[in-house]
């Protein structure tokens, strides 16, 4: 019933174009894994070969990160299903 009230939507309401969060507490190791996969997907090569983040792909990057965790923890959806994206 309270799925729409969480920190992720609060960041979106505060003006952030993309926000990633969870609907419930998750294990630290899983959160780190999702974050690593997410940022790996967002990383692009910028000017002069310096790494940059392409935040226009946040939803897709989170989807791929969650799929990676789902493959590793298929029997435990509570570990990976909590992650959500809010934004355009």
Please write the tens of the pLDDT for every residue from 38-70.
999 999 988 888 899 999 999 999 999 999 999
Tokens of 60: 């897709």
Say whether pLDDT at 1 is over 60.
no
Average pLDDT on 56-85 reads: 95
Domain borders along the chain are 7-87
Tokens of 73: 């923890």
Pairing of strands 43-45, 51-53: antiparallel
Query: What is the rounded distance in angstroms from the CA atom of residue 62 to the CA atom of residue 37?
Result: 8
């Amino acid at each position: 019933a309270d799925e729409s009230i969480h920190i992720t939507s609060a960041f979106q309401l505060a003006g952030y174009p993309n926000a990633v969060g969870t609907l419930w507490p998750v294990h630290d190791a899983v959160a780190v894994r999702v974050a690593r996969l997410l940022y790996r997907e967002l990383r692009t090569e910028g000017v002069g070969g310096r790494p940059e983040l392409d935040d226009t792909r946040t939803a897709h990057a989170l989807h791929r990160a969650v799929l990676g965790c789902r493959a590793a923890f298929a029997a435990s959806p509570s570990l990976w299903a909590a992650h959500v994206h809010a934004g355009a």
